[in-house]
Amino acid sequence: MSSEIAHIFSEPPARSTRIPGPPPVPAPAAVELTIDGRTVSVPAGATILDACRAESIHIPTLCFLENLTPVNACRVCVVEVAGARTLVPACSRPVEAGMTVQTASERVRHSRRLVLELLASSVDLSTAPGVADMLAEYGADPARFGPAAPPAQAGERDARQPGHHHVPDGAASATVAQPVKVDNELFVRDYAKCILCYKCVEACGVDAQNTFAIAVAGRGFDAHISTEYDTPLPASACVYCGNCIGVCPTGALMFRSEHEMRAAGTWDEAAQSRTDTICPYCGVGCTLTLHVQQGAIVKVTSPLDASITEGHLCVKGRFGFTFVGSGGDGG
Amino acid sequence: MDLVTLAPRATPDERAAVDVVLGAPVGRWDGGERADPEGGHVASGGHAARERRHLLLPVLHAIQERVGWISRPALEYACRRLSIPPADAYGVARFYGLFSTTLRPPIVAHVCDDIACRLAGAEDVCADLGRALGPAGEPALDGEATWLRSPCLGRCERAPAALFTVAGTLPETIAAAPVDAAGIVTRLERTAAGRRLVPAPTDTEPDEERLANVRRSVPQAGGPGLRILRRVGVTDPRSLDDYLATGGYRGLRRAMEIGREAVIAEVTASGLLGRGGAAFPTGRKWAAVAAQPGQPHYTVCNADESEPGTFKDRVLMEEDPYAIVEAMTIEGFATGSAHGFLYIRAEYPLSAARMAHALATARAAGYIGADILGSGVAFDIEIRRGAGAYVCGEETALFNSIEGKRGEPRNKPPFPVEVGLFGRPTAVNNIETLVNIPGIVADGGAAFAALGTQGSRGPKLFCISGSVPGPGVYEVEFGASLGDLIALAGGVTPGRALRAVLLGGAAGVFMGPDSLDLPLTFEATRAAGATLGSGVVMVFDQTADLVGTLRRVAAFFRDESCGQCVPCRVGTVRQEELLARLANGRPNGSVADELALLADLGLAMRDASICGLGQFASSAIESAVRAGLVAFAGHGEARA
Amino acid sequence: MGSDIALANAIGREIIAAGLENRGFIDRATSGFDAYREKVESYTLEYAERETGVPAARIRELAHAYATAPRAMICWTLGITEHHNGVDNVLALVSLALLTGHVGRYGSGLNPLRGQNNVQGGGDMGALPDRLPGFQHVEQDALRAPFDAEWGVAVPPKRGKHLSAMFEAMEHRELTALYVIGENPVQSEADQAKAIRLLSGLDHLVVQDIFLTRTAQLADVVLPAAAAWAETEGTVTNSERRVQRVRKALEPPGEARDDLAIIFELARRLGADWGEPSAKAVWDELRRLSPVHAGMSYARLESQGGLQWPCYDETHPGELFLHSRLWEDPVPGNRAPFVPVDHDPPVDRLDADFPIRLTTGRRLDSYNTGVQSGRYRSPLRRGESLDLSPEDVAGYRLTEGERVRVVSRRGAVETPVRTDPSLRPGLAFMTLHFQDDVATNLLTIDATDPKSGTAEFKATAIRIEKLVAARGG
């Protein structure tokens, strides 16, 4: 080491006199609007959902998640904006000055109820957190559409081409029921529980992982989440980060261990503790929430508000925990 | 992008099909050979490749047309070339009805069974084909051919219709109407035996035959007083000289003289409202795009005419293509855009051919290109083909389709004038709207505004089909009544009584026989709770199976829903199931319960769907029920 | 491979030749620019293309893009540091940041990405031969004094040995006893045969680990430890200097104990009773002694989701990036020096006997020697392989999956061949994840950087021998 720079290695560096941070951005102008008769002021660029949350006005959401780009596909968050011909999705519609919003009008409640009935009549929502409460709140009665049709065979729904379909007789209502896809050791894909919220596609794509192993294929009611040519995950681009599991609102995507414990009747969320810690692998420092049941980690998630990766993990962080509690003799 | 492609190598045919569109690959990073291993580390052109994403649909068309289907190796080769993840591209391919991702025979008859063709016996044609060739989609004629049911092919005036596609090194797509099962089978057999579909595309057919066809589609052709249709059946649509001799390019020349602001002022003064269905003031749209800071702006012409019962844009593209080129050029000039896209549905091969010919000759003559008529103004037009998706007629879905994506509509706002094609300010107009433009600019907006009514200026085209002796495209001055229109087409078929009229298409409304006095204007139809939609006037007589028609409408929307939003994706399924129960006399509970549920579904679809498809998917069905045009019986009851 | 300085210096030369250097920043905040300019003068694009294999046009494109970007960051991992001249590699990159002013500003900078969840924290805590906690140099009296006072003993004013030096000392019998905590040097050290010989020859080896690793199997005493991230309380520091809390979610199995408890117990048995072990108490002690950690109370770490050092007091928000002082006028403290360095190819040279360059690294789903990651059922895992370019696979008449012998000047292993089109001819890749099956580090060279003590894992000379031919059919 040349002596002229030796001081770098022996003396503490001089301190900055200013605290470094991002360049200042001008605060957005305040926008005033009316929500449910209340005058509300929020920063320009905020969505109606942001404004409602700031006012503690509850808006139900399914396809919305803080760490993903809103796709406003589920339409359960619709609200009524004065002057608009149709209802608008609160999750993605930016506020405008003078806007008058109703979040619980008869029209709003009607559409939310129908959206929930349509979903519940076509999708298995039994492991979707919070949906039972929503159905109750809106008085949704999915049975109005009649009995459910029998489940499709494995691969049958994936194979449907866009265009003409088999004309129904209406005796039973079509569903997305089909066998669960189990093609790897780490997680299962139970598309009978898929509401097609696009979140997994976003998490696999530019919103988190940039792997693009899955996309929406097919059209209309036959649209489904798919790898290319419905190839099994081990023959796809999947890197098993499990970020799709992390964002799935219905439990369609699930740790294989949870899936098997549920099947065996041993899954007991009430008996589980949740502890936040830091991933034991690389230097990124992702926060892991360890779900522990009877002294064993049964699932790993990551909080959406963890600043480093906003809830997203890699394959090691999400699945590579089995070395604790497993015993063994070293690598 | 670090793509994972695991399929074996694409066949030489598949690679050649892709390379025709994209040129030869440079190296292994874009799917080519690893010719220069030392340079194998250089991911040349990653950005450049991704910027060509919009060529995905042309590439998929090329594969489909060459091989008859899109195999995984072929798709993955296309993905390498364009730097698109295979799952993403697969999702795109699986969105469009005319692409197949499973092995399909090279020769396909797409047989229309939509509303007008249904009235003309399409179900019988399909039944006969089933007996002759086997079930739809199954290989026939030693695996050489198959047949499929198709949504409206835009040939309702000569129903029933079919579209033939033949894959190979010289692919063909030919529409035919009217057709019968025997004729379809003969064509398939002749083609399978190695002969071409017809001696040649209809574009080389003798003038007399061409004119006869035109007069069948446009009975008024050559008649006096026509404005929009004035060249149809009069000039040769393949002749720029003919176009110039009949006042062609007067509009563009005047536009260049008066400048962009004045052009927009004329269009605004004309009171022209968009003819695609939304009736938005064209001048206001142009002004909004012109006012957007930054470049580029885009000009898009929506020629994805797919509304069942509609065929006027097809006729205009086939018979007056230069007018569309001139109009788009004026629009580009006025809105500050140098690049136009003309998105034509794939079911209109002759339209695409005529437009391509018009573009090439107009370009050669300096009417489009880098320096139009020596003015220094640059504007050019690229043709893009749809691939079998009604929803792409929705303008933002159309943008996504041009961009090489699934044709899923976007949420609005932001509106296209601000965030449109490629995220840029975009003026998008329908064909009929545009054909009015050269005249408005040449003769002034006031002359146009003098025609029609207070709320509906100018002339208007209507597509009359169904139970009339003279179905076709008709031009009237705004103000004509529904009865006037039907009278133009010769009235209801002799010996039959009028039962209903479907106004505006599958997304329109059914009117009863008491509506003949309704003026077909924007304001009058709006007041009557109806719509002009795309100008469809489909006539049903007392023999028509109206309930079957409603079920077909429901099936159509269920087929064509993009699947993005819940109200439409599931609502269209439930609506179709409900109609089936009513039609079969097996309602859940009472008929009244079912009709209440139908209304509930309709309201939610209208209120909560992302785009017009879902918003209007229940419109025709509910209107027929409301107008008492159909009646349903419960269990054990006689049908009313 | 091993030509990073040729590349960096050529980029520097091109930036200067194109007049794209940040003159104002150089004049105000740096020293030694003239010497740097002279040094890089001979590093033409053509020379760099020859040495690196990267086309000259691409190097030029990169130089211009980097110099003209509003914000630019250089990130690196062990591909830069695991060379016999790893420190010089880093210095060459530092010079590029100084040349362009891409340092000390938001969105710009130099970012060595850390490979372990607490390798940064280990350094923070003084687990470096010449440092006390908070990177305070042990040979500086003024920095050492607070430690003497806090601990009531005189801290030896002398730097210790880094890992490579320790092995050297073992060879000379200068070091005869070793206490290894949470490391598996039998499998992670370069030149594995030598590492095993030296560890086996110690008078006394203590290993504290969560598993009976290959190193633990050589130990005289094994202290079973708890997994720090799930079975104990404490903190770790990530790659962006963010200190974050780890928490106990599980009871450690069997007799395993928290590292802290083990060390406290060891102290007690050696006659120093430190009381009850408490991660928080240890942390508070650190805060008293390390100015850069002083403001990081457990309460703040909890409520703010971690803090980035330096964080001098409880009102200090922590610093998002370092070296912002370089943008003050005048610059507080010393200017940042350019340190000119020269290209120096890898020690393990290629020749007719060893014509292929082997580099080692990780795969996504696995981690180091596999102690942790070997236990979950990853669908991506496919075991060890010698990854070769398609040209080399063809040239050596190999087939996919064929087992071959890989021979270096130090050892040989057998492994299947795999084609990887992202490799260029002459370059091979292996991991160190499956050392029980394929002991890759039997091949690697222990040539180390004299400044950092890091071995040249990234550049080994090998040859490939066909097993079928070797066995004579």
pLDDT interval class at C435 (50, 70, 90): confident
Question: Closest approach of chain B CAs to the CA of A147, in angstroms?
Answer: 10
pLDDT of residue C231: 95
Counting as contact any 3 or more CB pairs under 8 A, the partners of A are B, C
Q: What does the pLDDT look like over B431-464, one tens digit per residue?
A: 999 999 999 999 999 999 999 999 999 999 999 9
Q: What does the pLDDT look like over C35-90, one tens digit per residue?
A: 999 999 999 999 999 999 889 999 999 999 999 999 999 999 999 999 999 999 99
Domain spans of chain C, in order of start = 4-107+325-337, 119-308, 356-470
Average pLDDT over residues C357-368: 91
Q: Is residue A4 part of a domain?
A: no
pLDDT of residue B581: 97
Question: Closest approach of chain C CAs to the CA of A221, in angstroms?
Answer: 31
Q: Is residue A107 part of a domain?
A: yes
Looking at domain C4-107+325-337, which CATH architecture does it have? 3-Layer(aba) Sandwich (3.40)
pLDDT of C471 over the 50 cut: no
Residue C53: its chain B contacts at CB < 8 A? 38, 41
Give the closest of A72, A165, A216 to B406, CB-based.
Answer: A216
A and C: number of Cβ contacts within 8 A:
224
pLDDT of C467 over the 80 cut: yes
pLDDT of B198 over the 70 cut: no
Q: Give the CATH number, domain containing residue A109.
A: 3.10.20.740
- Pairwise CB contact (< 8 Å): A226 & B85: no
Q: What is the overall mean pLDDT for chain C? A: 93
Residues B468, B435, single domain; the answer is no
Rg, Å, chain B Cα set: 25
pLDDT interval class at B203 (50, 70, 90): low
Residue B40 touches chain C, beta carbons under 8 Å: yes
pLDDT of A28 over the 50 cut: yes
Average pLDDT over residues C317-328: 94
Residues B53, B139, single domain; the answer is no
pLDDT of A330 over the 50 cut: no
pLDDT of A326 over the 70 cut: no
Q: Is residue A302 part of a domain?
A: yes
Average pLDDT over residues B187-210: 74
pLDDT of residue B207: 81
Task: Show the tokens assigned to B462.
Answer: 């209507």
Distances in whole angstroms, Cα of residue B562 to Cα of each of B95, B569, C422 = 8, 7, 39
Residues B466, B606, single domain; the answer is no
What is the rounded CA–CA span in Å between residue C445 and residue C348? 7
Task: Show the tokens assigned to B212.
Answer: 């006869």
Question: Closest approach of chain B CAs to the CA of A95, in angstroms?
Answer: 11
Residues A303, A184, single domain; the answer is yes
Tell me the pTM.
0.94
Q: Give the CATH number, domain containing residue B181.
A: 3.40.30.10
CA angle B571, B576, B580 (to 5 degrees): 145
Residues B327, B381, single domain; the answer is yes
Domain end among B507, B541, B575:
B541
Question: Closest approach of chain C CAs to the CA of B213, in angstroms?
Answer: 58
Percent of chain A with pLDDT strictly greater than 70: 97
What is the rounded CA–CA span in Å between residue C371 and residue A329? 9
Residues A241, A277, single domain; the answer is yes
Q: What is the overall mean pLDDT for chain B? A: 93
User: Which residues lie across from B466 on neighbouring strands?
Assistant: B539
Residues B510, B557, single domain; the answer is no
pLDDT of residue B278: 87
Neighbouring residues of B256: CB distance < 8 A, sequence distance ≥ 6: B333, B372, B373, B375, B377
Q: Which domain holds residue B70?
A: 12-93
B and C: number of Cβ contacts within 8 A:
24
- Pairwise CB contact (< 8 Å): A221 & B569: yes
pLDDT of A331 over the 80 cut: no
Percent of chain B with pLDDT strictly greater than 70: 94
Question: Closest approach of chain C CAs to the CA of A24, in angstroms?
Answer: 11
Q: Is residue B483 part of a domain?
A: yes
Q: Is residue A228 part of a domain?
A: yes
- Kindly report the CATH class assigned to C119-308: alpha beta
Residues B296, B322, single domain; the answer is yes
DSSP string, B69-111: S--HHHHHHHHHHHT--HHHHHHHHTTSTT--SS---SEEEEE
Strands lying side by side in the sheet with A296-301: A273-278, A287-293, A296-301
Residues B44, B135, single domain; the answer is no
**Nearest of A28, A88, A83 to residue A52 by alpha carbon:** A88
Question: Closest approach of chain A CAs to the CA of C372, in angstroms?
Answer: 6
Average pLDDT over residues B559-563: 97
Domain end among B541, B563, B592:
B541
Residues B278, B182, single domain; the answer is no
Residues B560, B501, single domain; the answer is no
C120: nearest CA partner in chain A: A283
Average pLDDT over residues B74-82: 94
For residue B369, give the DSSP letter: B
Q: Indicate the number of domains in chain A.
A: 2
Residue B572: its chain A contacts at CB < 8 A? 220-221
Residues B178, B313, single domain; the answer is no
Q: Is residue B635 part of a domain?
A: no
C372, C305, A292, A241: CA torsion to nearest 10: -50
Tell me whether strands C427-431 and C356-361 are parallel, antiparallel or unpaired.
Answer: parallel
Residues B293, B417, single domain; the answer is yes
Residue A217: its chain B contacts at CB < 8 A? 90-91, 94-95
Q: Are B155 and B175 in contact (CB under 8 A)?
A: yes
Q: What does the pLDDT look like over B101-147, one tens digit per residue?
A: 999 999 999 999 999 999 999 999 999 999 999 999 999 999 999 99
pLDDT of residue C473: 39
Q: Which domain holds residue A54?
A: 28-148
**Nearest of A86, A87, A141 to residue A118 by alpha carbon:** A141
- Pairwise CB contact (< 8 Å): C390 & B42: no
Average pLDDT over residues B168-195: 92
pLDDT of residue A35: 98
pLDDT of A328 over the 50 cut: no
What is the rounded CA–CA span in Å between residue A48 and residue A52? 6
Looking at per-residue pLDDT, the higher value among A12 and C113 belongs to C113
Q: What is the overall mean pLDDT for chain A? A: 93
For residue A142, give the DSSP letter: G
Counting as contact any 3 or more CB pairs under 8 A, the partners of B are A, C
pLDDT of residue C28: 96
- Residues of C in CB contact (< 8 Å) with B are 53-55, 58, 389-391, 421-422, 424-425
Q: Are C82 and C457 in contact (CB under 8 A)?
A: yes
- Pairwise CB contact (< 8 Å): B88 & A89: no
Residues A180, A315, single domain; the answer is yes
B44: nearest CA partner in chain C: C58
Residue B91 touches chain C, beta carbons under 8 Å: no
A111: nearest CA partner in chain B: B604
Residue B41: its chain C contacts at CB < 8 A? 53-54, 422, 424
pLDDT of C177 over the 90 cut: yes
Q: Is residue A21 part of a domain?
A: no
Average pLDDT over residues A134-143: 97
Q: Indicate the number of domains in chain B.
A: 5
Q: Give the CATH number, domain containing residue A260.
A: 3.30.70.20
- The CATH code that applies to domain C356-470 is 2.40.40.20
Residue A300 touches chain B, beta carbons under 8 Å: no
Give the closest of A159, A162, A214 to B97, CB-based.
Answer: A162
Q: Is residue B53 part of a domain?
A: yes
Residues A119, A180, single domain; the answer is no
Q: Is residue A307 part of a domain?
A: yes
Average pLDDT over residues B259-276: 97
pLDDT of residue C469: 57
Domain end among A98, A133, A148:
A148
What is the rounded CA–CA span in Å between residue B24 and residue B20? 8
A169: nearest CA partner in chain B: B580
Q: Is residue B114 part of a domain?
A: yes
What is the rounded CA–CA span in Å between residue C282 and residue C260? 9
Q: Are A186 and A242 in contact (CB under 8 A)?
A: yes
Question: Closest approach of chain C CAs to the CA of A124, in angstroms?
Answer: 28
Residues A144, A225, single domain; the answer is no
- Pairwise CB contact (< 8 Å): C421 & B34: yes
Q: Is residue A293 part of a domain?
A: yes
Residues B469, B508, single domain; the answer is yes
Q: Is residue A185 part of a domain?
A: yes
pLDDT of residue B41: 52
What is the rounded CA–CA span in Å between residue A128 and residue A248? 9
Q: Give the CATH number, domain containing residue B289.
A: 3.40.50.11540
**Torsion sign across C-alpha atoms B481, B482, B487, B489:** positive
Question: Closest approach of chain C CAs to the CA of B41, in angstroms?
Answer: 7
Residue A228: its chain B contacts at CB < 8 A? 72, 75-76, 86-87, 89-90
Residue burial A12-46, b: 16+ Cβ < 10 Å; e: rest: ebeebeeebeeeeeeeeeebebebeeeebebeeeb
